[in-house]
Amino acid sequence: MKRFLCLLIAMLVMLPMTACGDAVDTGSADTETETTVDTTETEPTLQLPELDYEGYSFHIYSFDHSAYRIEHVAEELNGDVLNDAIFNRNLDVSTLLNVELITVINKWDNDDFRSNVMAAVMSGSDDYDVFTGNMYNTTYLSAEGYFYNLNRVPFISVENPWWNKSCYEELSIGNNAYLLMGDMCLSNYNAEAVFFNRSMIEDYNMEDPYTLAYENEWTIDKMIEMTKDFYIDRNGNGVRDEDGSDLYGFHSKRQSSYSLAHYYIDITTKTPDNYIEVTFHSERTEELFNKLRTWMMESAGSYCPRGWTSAGPLVEEQSCVFTILTLNQCANLREYDVNYGVVPIPKYDKTQENYISTASGLLVCFPSSISDIERSAAVADALSYYGREYVYPAYVEKSILSKGIRDEDAQFMIETILDNVKYNFGVAFGGFDGYGYALLDYTDGNQGFGSFYAAMSTAADKELYDYADKILALD
């Protein structure tokens, strides 16, 4: 509701300026002219020519994303809003272009996926028309020349909302671009968010995160302030327990929350000629890393051991007020009797224009050996378009329902998260020992930032520049 009110206010503010700009001067002061201004914004629509691929069997080779087993496939309508949206998306694309969609899903194995993609491209057999793979694999393969240059692909425009422009721009070098993020991949909605226990917020007279987010007060300093000293030894044993016996302001395993740093610093920035400059090291980076390590590892209200975060502390043990989870967890929380809310990852400060999100889903790429890139691009564009039309709203709808009750605030927040997914070359191409995992490594120890940076920077810089040089040299 607040979203629609904000949009209405914005339209009313803009209306007088638009009317003045569009007024027609007839040259006669005595002539009354009525000017009608249409302020309605129309959503872009699919702009494919009339195409008929005569029942062609279109093969998608995909990676087994653990969060979404139905990434591309829905065998039949079964009443589940998300399954049915995927089924209808596929049906509309099949009907529109006269193709049969066939998905082959590789097992959850990085080496196996890479070797199969490489073998398919090198054979030139045209066994697959499009690949969708996780970032770890697709970034590596893109630099090795296994994908088609998107700047020579017809139909697809990253200006359309069903493609992510940031992904295309950030993961490209020079005139070479190979990776897309689009709505044909359900897992791209698997963005991170801050989940909180609404009942505890009320019980302990804490500030409402929804109100803070609406009023541009939801910052990383605010979340730290609200959580760093909030600790209750519920069983009175004097030990910081993880089994639900104690209550923490913030609980998150560090393998799941190391990416916090990526919301506030750019590991790389782009030069005017679309090359990279490694800009990880700065006063802001040092200040941020020290702030996050102190909060996560030293404050009484934070419990952040190594490992992967589950929803257990939020809903089963109810041992925390705040945690960081991915949005796919929403569907798993509905069975619990917990009044929870969802807000974006906090802003760095109030001057940050938008809330920023990152996603961990599958990227879209075309085999460099493909014989009919037009057909592959047309099907991919249609899948992403209808994904935006059907799957996106179904995902939001399924995420905001708790025991059949809609959470309008959560809807606004989730749409905000999903509409602001950003990429960074340094994050995407930073390996396990590079800048991508720097916060995790930094919180493991107690050395100063200067010595930490000095120990890792040479190898981390080389990794990123090597990737950029390889991509630049392709074609």
Report the distance separating Cα 137 and Cα 141, nearest Å: 6
Q: How confident is the model at residue 353 (pLDDT cuts 50, 70, 90)?
A: very high
Instruction: Name residue 437's amino acid.
Output: Y
Instruction: Kindly report which listed range (214-218, 308-312, 393-397, 421-425) carries the lowest average pLDDT score.
Output: 308-312
Given a cut of 90, whether residue 60 has pLDDT beyond it is yes
Residue 431 has a pLDDT of 78
3-state secondary structure the chain: CHHHHHHHHHHHHHHHHHHHHHCCCCCCCCCCCCCCCCCCCCCCCCCCCCCCCCCEEEEEEEECCCCCCCCCCCCCCCCCHHHHHHHHHHHHHHHHHCEEEEEEEECCCHHHHHHHHHHHHHHCCCCCCEEEECHHHHHHHHHCCCECCHHHCCCCCCCCCCECHHHHHHCCECCECCCECECCCHHHHCEEEEEEEHHHHHHCCCCCHHHHHHCCCCEHHHHHHHHCCCEECCCCCCCCCCCCCCEEEEECCHHHHHHHHHHCCCCEEECCCCCEEECCCCHHHHHHHHHHHHHHHHCCCEECCCCCCCCHHHHCCCCEEEEEEEHHHHHHHCCCCCCEEEECCCECCCCCCCCCECECCCEEECECCCCCHHHHHHHHHHHHHHHHHHHHHHHHHHHHEECCEECHHHHHHHHHHHCCECCCHHHHHCCCCCHHHHHHHHHHCCCCHHHHHHHHHHHHHHHHHHHHHHHHHCC
Given a cut of 50, whether residue 475 has pLDDT beyond it is yes
- In this predicted model, what pLDDT tens digit does every residue of 430-453 receive, in sequence order? 977 789 889 989 998 889 999 999
- Please say whether the beta carbons of 344 and 192 come within 8 A: no
Given a cut of 70, whether residue 405 has pLDDT beyond it is no
Residue 464 has a pLDDT of 97
Report the distance separating Cα 384 and Cα 93, nearest Å: 10
Q: When comparing pLDDT for 432 and 392, which is higher?
A: 392
Helices (H), 103-245: 110-123, 135-143, 165-170, 198-203, 209-214, 220-227
Q: How confident is the model at residue 7 (pLDDT cuts 50, 70, 90)?
A: very low
> What's the average model confidence in pLDDT over 148-158?
97
Tokens of 422: 């950003």
Given a cut of 70, whether residue 390 has pLDDT beyond it is yes
- Long-range contacts of residues 440-447, Cβ cutoff 8 Å, at least 24 apart: 440/254, 440/255, 440/258, 442/289, 442/293, 443/254, 443/258, 443/292, 443/293, 443/296, 443/297, 443/304, 444/306
**Best CA proximity match to 181, nearest among 154, 150, 155:** 150
Residue 41 has a pLDDT of 65
- In this predicted model, what pLDDT tens digit does every residue of 162-190 receive, in sequence order? 999 999 999 999 999 999 999 999 999 98
Residue 404 has a pLDDT of 59
Strands (E), 330-444: 340-343, 363-365, 401-402, 405-406
Segment holding 290, helix H or strand E: helix 283-293
Averaged confidence pLDDT in the chain: 88
Residue 152 has a pLDDT of 97
Q: Are strands 320-326 and 192-197 parallel, antiparallel or unpaired?
A: antiparallel
- Please say whether the beta carbons of 304 and 297 come within 8 A: yes
> What's the average model confidence in pLDDT over 46-65?
95
Residue 286 has a pLDDT of 97
Helix 408-418 to helix 2-22 angle (10° resolution) is: 60
Given a cut of 70, whether residue 1 has pLDDT beyond it is no
Domains plus CATH for the chain? Answer: 56-189+360-406 (3.40.190.10), 192-356+425-473 (3.40.190.10)
Report the distance separating Cα 336 and Cα 314, nearest Å: 10
HSE of 87 in the Cβ direction (CA atoms, 13 Å)?
Answer: 11
Instruction: Kindly report which listed range (31-45, 98-112, 151-165, 280-294) carries the lowest average pLDDT score.
Output: 31-45
Residue 433 has a pLDDT of 79
Helix 449-473 to helix 283-293 angle (10° resolution) is: 120
Given a cut of 90, whether residue 20 has pLDDT beyond it is no
> What's the average model confidence in pLDDT over 313-333?
87
Work out the end-to-end distance of the chain between its first and last CA atoms, rounded to an integer number of angstroms.
50
DSSP summary character for residue 208: P
> What's the average model confidence in pLDDT over 274-278?
98
- In this predicted model, what pLDDT tens digit does every residue of 207-263 receive, in sequence order? 999 999 999 999 999 999 999 999 999 988 988 887 778 999 999 887 777 789 999
**Buried residues in 158-184 as b, exposed as e (16+ CB within 10 A):** bebebbbbebbebbbbeebbbbbbbbb
Given a cut of 60, whether residue 38 has pLDDT beyond it is no
Given a cut of 90, whether residue 43 has pLDDT beyond it is no
**Best CA proximity match to 357, nearest among 369, 371, 342:** 342
**Best CA proximity match to 469, nearest among 425, 432, 431, 422:** 425
Given a cut of 90, whether residue 65 has pLDDT beyond it is no
